[in-house]
Structure 1
């Protein structure tokens, strides 16, 4: 009887061991692939866009080096592994942020009411210039990124130039060259005119906060942007008028290291 009692007592123990299945509740997380964290209710596209929004904001404000994928994740309200899942590295999310910025700028340009095509060379150049002002007023982040990256030669600067800057400059150089050939503007060094127009229509918007502090209104304000565009075009193209008047006389000083002429 004692033996049977022992067996009866042992049976529940032998049965109870396999019944304890707490370990199986963790089986599903263990089968999850490493580096593929759950995307959450927002979905992959919304998560990716939130990361690009955060990355664009930080890269435009701080530049590339101080920004980490952890900071981007914190700004977007997700974990750092989400950044690496979608983009793989900081360099890749930086490139993706620039790609999206440029896609938005191109779409903005294409949606302008006044199209520069099919016009006389001077009108086309003026509208290209005005469109560039409006594009930077609408979103100055690309100009801010170029300020950070354009000051030091490196891989990111080279990528920017080869991927986007050359194309943009070629468009303006072509329009300026046509206007000069048509006699609509004075013959001047093509590089100089291009730099004045492109950077004058772009880099001014990187100082929007300072301008707001001094004048009470940011230059990104629609009315302020329109006023600046009109004034900029008036000043630049009046200076380029082919009115037969001689160009400005050289200023009576030399850049250090420049040899005297004449």
Structure 2
């Protein structure tokens, strides 16, 4: 089989070949659909290429290894969830509210995403969290996002003197704890918000609520 596209699916443009970004997205779309429907272990690069309508060599030009494809897919899924935050919050939401809700979504929704669940269930349980924790591009994105948050806040709700880089790293570290299930009951949004009020906000907020019970009876009994 040659290296040029051999067929098209799902409305991809026909003709003299897709742009590189379109081709890359086609592979990610196919991989996501297959990981969810067939399972992570049963989905090979060859199967992904066939589903997308390209040769296996075309996949490797964008993703040298299967792990690099999975990392890109997890990053895309994470970004999709995070972008959805702005659609749920009032337009006048404070930066601190946006940060808090981001962590709630990581804990209660990202963990339940069909793609993340498929990968987590069929690999080392640390895989998704570690891929995110070690992803340099994600670190850059979060730091850029935190820089915008700190600038927009102008000291109104965030702790004075807080650096965007430090805030970004702390946000990622907290997210990893939530993804790994280290915090009992964190799949429940109410529990996560109580946890953030008591332990996260004192580290980053100019003002924060007084300490109160976080876990209900029985949540930490395991």
TM-score of the pair, normalised by structure 2:
0.52
- 1:232 deviation in Å? 3.3
Whether 1:175 and 2:149 are equivalent positions in the alignment is: yes
Change (3 A) 1:171 1:138: farther
Aligned to 1:181, what secondary structure does the other structure show?
coil
Residue 147, structure 1, aligned to residue 120, structure 2: no
CA deviation after TM superposition for structure 1 residue 138, in Å: 3.6
Structure 1 pair 55/188, CA: closer, same or farther in 2 (3 Å)? farther
Closer, same or farther: CA 234–188 of 1 in aligned 2, 3 Å? same
**Greater fraction of residues in helix:** 1
Q: In the alignment, what sits opposite 1:195?
A: 169
Q: Per-residue deviation at 1:126?
A: 2.8
8 Å CA contact retained: 1:105, 1:135: no
Matched residue, 1:161: 136
Which structure's relative contact order is higher, taking Cα pairs within 8 Å and 6+ residues apart? 2
CA contact (8 A) 2:139 2:168 kept: no
Residue 145 (structure 1) shift: 4.4
Q: Which blocks of at least 5 consecutive residues in structure 1 are unaligned?
A: 1-32, 62-69, 152-159, 244-262
**What is the RMSD of the two structures over their aligned residues, measured on CA atoms?**
4.8
Query: In the superposition, relative to structure 1, how do residues 175 and 138 fare at CA in structure 2: closer, same or farther (>3 Å)?
Result: farther
8 A contact 1:179–1:185 mirrored in 2: yes
| CA distance 1:117–1:98, shift in 2 (3 Å) | farther
What are structure 2's unaligned runs of at least 5 residues? Answer: 11-25, 121-125, 208-222
Change (3 A) 1:117 1:169: farther
- In the alignment, is the contact (CA less than 8 A) between 2:158 and 2:206 conserved in 1? yes
| Deviation at residue 177 of structure 1 after TM alignment | 4.9
TM-score, normalization by structure 1: 0.46
Larger radius of gyration: 1
